């Protein structure tokens, strides 16, 4: 009786295919409802994805010193939420976007505060002239900005961020991206810093999408591009 066995195999194959889809970082569901920065996937492998963002514009808080990622993100989020609700030089309301970024610049000592800067993506409608606001600044990522990305689920806790960043780092080891990513130096980024991207509001409990981003200058693909031109 080969039949039950083969349908079991089909079922297994379908399950494996589903898992593969879940593991490859498709566009976050939030981005089907609200505006997110566009990107191209340059490469993907077990545990990471390499993306190219083009001309992304962000509005960012000043660095927030805190011992807690979660607390610092809440502080920064409130400033930016007020900003999009009209607390800006033009009294303009701005559409909510995703993801919310928190740039983490770890401290050296175990008991020192780290530095966090929180950013909202500026929607296309406001990118030409984002309203200025006291204490906030506009960051324009120049041209193509590359990010090594690791996705994870759930509510982000303080203990998660360093661990997820270390996993991303480990997954890049031995790949052609490892050197460029460890040199870091994405726009305004110190080598040891990384970004946590969160796509969901605190009121969404299911299917939460978060990512670690490590920005880097991609010499490999810019060399390839200039070789082609």
Ligand X SMILES: *[C@@H]1O[C@H](CO)[C@@H](O)[C@H](O)[C@H]1NC(C)=O
**Binding interface with ligand X (CB under 6 A):** 90-91
In terms of CB distance, is 73 or 88 closer to ligand X?
88
Least distance between ligand X and beta carbon 76 (Å): 23
Residue 154 sits at φ, ψ, to 5 deg, of 80, -175
In terms of CB distance, is 7 or 82 closer to ligand X?
82
Least distance between ligand X and beta carbon 78 (Å): 20
Which residues, in sequence order, are bridge partners of residue 58?
121, 139
Number of continuous H segments (helices) and E segments (strands) in the chain:
5, 10
Least distance between ligand X and beta carbon 85 (Å): 12
Least distance between ligand X and beta carbon 146 (Å): 38
Closest CA to 99 of 167, 158, 68, 53: 53
Contacts of 214 (CB under 8 A, 6+ apart): 147, 148, 149, 165, 168, 169, 181, 184, 186, 194, 195
What is the DSSP code (8-state) at residue 30?
G
In terms of CB distance, is 46 or 91 closer to ligand X?
91
In terms of CB distance, is 81 or 90 closer to ligand X?
90
Cβ(84)–Cβ(37) below 8 Å: no
Least distance between ligand X and beta carbon 191 (Å): 41
In terms of CB distance, is 90 or 155 closer to ligand X?
90
What are the structure tokens assigned to 77, written together?
A: 């989020």
Number of residue whose CB is nearest ligand X: 91
In terms of CB distance, is 92 or 138 closer to ligand X?
92
CA-to-CA distance for 150 and 210, rounded, in angstroms?
A: 8
Least distance between ligand X and beta carbon 139 (Å): 23
What are the structure tokens assigned to 184, written together?
A: 């870091």
């Amino acid at each position: 009786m080969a039949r039950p066995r083969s349908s079991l195999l089909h079922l297994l194959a379908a399950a494996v295919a589903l898992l593969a889809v879940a593991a490859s970082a498709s566009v976050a569901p939030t981005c089907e409802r609200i505006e997110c920065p566009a990107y191209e996937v340059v490469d993907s492998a077990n545990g990471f994805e390499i993306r190219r963002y083009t001309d992304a514009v962000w509005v960012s808080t000043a660095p927030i010193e805190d011992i807690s990622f979660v607390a610092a993100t809440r502080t920064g989020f409130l400033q930016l939420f007020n900003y999009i609700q009209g607390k800006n030089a033009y009294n303009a309301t701005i559409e909510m976007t995703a993801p919310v970024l928190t740039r983490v610049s770890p401290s050296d000592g175990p008991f020192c505060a780290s530095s966090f800067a929180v950013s909202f993506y500026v929607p296309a409608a406001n990118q030409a002239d984002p309203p200025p606001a006291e204490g906030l600044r506009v960051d324009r990522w120049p041209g193509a900005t590359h990010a090594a990305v690791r996705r994870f689920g759930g509510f982000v806790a303080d203990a998660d961020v360093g661990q997820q960043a270390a996993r991303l780092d480990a997954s890049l080891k031995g790949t052609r991206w490892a050197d460029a990513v460890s040199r870091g130096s994405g726009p305004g980024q110190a080598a040891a810093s990384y970004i946590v991207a969160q796509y969901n509001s605190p009121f969404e409990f299911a299917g939460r999408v978060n990512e670690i981003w490590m920005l880097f200058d991609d010499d490999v693909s810019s060399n390839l591009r200039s070789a082609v031109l």
